[in-house]
Amino acid sequence: MPKGPKGEKRPADVIGNAVHVMRIATGEEAETPAPASPAAEMGRKGGEARAKAMTPERRAEIARKGAAKRWGSQQA
């Protein structure tokens, strides 16, 4: 059975998928999202800890560097 973008199981055929979506919409079935992986949970905690340990000046420096990379070489 194919998996959706968040790892949920979905029917392979178009009609089966339409029936599945209809059942979720009418409340016959509950849509259960896949739980977050342990690695994702640890990464989230690590990011928060890193942000707490940094000075505001260092966070601003990192944000400026990221913005320059993101927006610096845009083509019109």
44 or 5, greater pLDDT: 44
Residue 75 belongs to a domain: no
pLDDT for 69: 92
Per-residue pLDDT, averaged over 44-54, amounts to 90
Considering the domain architecture, whether residues 25 and 9 belong to the same structural domain is answered as yes
**Residue 24, both tokens:** 């979720």
Give the structural domain span for 29. 1-34
Considering the domain architecture, whether residues 62 and 42 belong to the same structural domain is answered as yes
Question: What digits encode the pLDDT tens for the residues 22-40?
Answer: 999 999 988 877 777 888 8
Residue 20 belongs to a domain: yes
pLDDT for 20: 85
12 or 53, greater pLDDT: 53
Considering the domain architecture, whether residues 18 and 4 belong to the same structural domain is answered as yes
Distance CA 63, CA 46 (A): 18
Considering the domain architecture, whether residues 46 and 22 belong to the same structural domain is answered as no
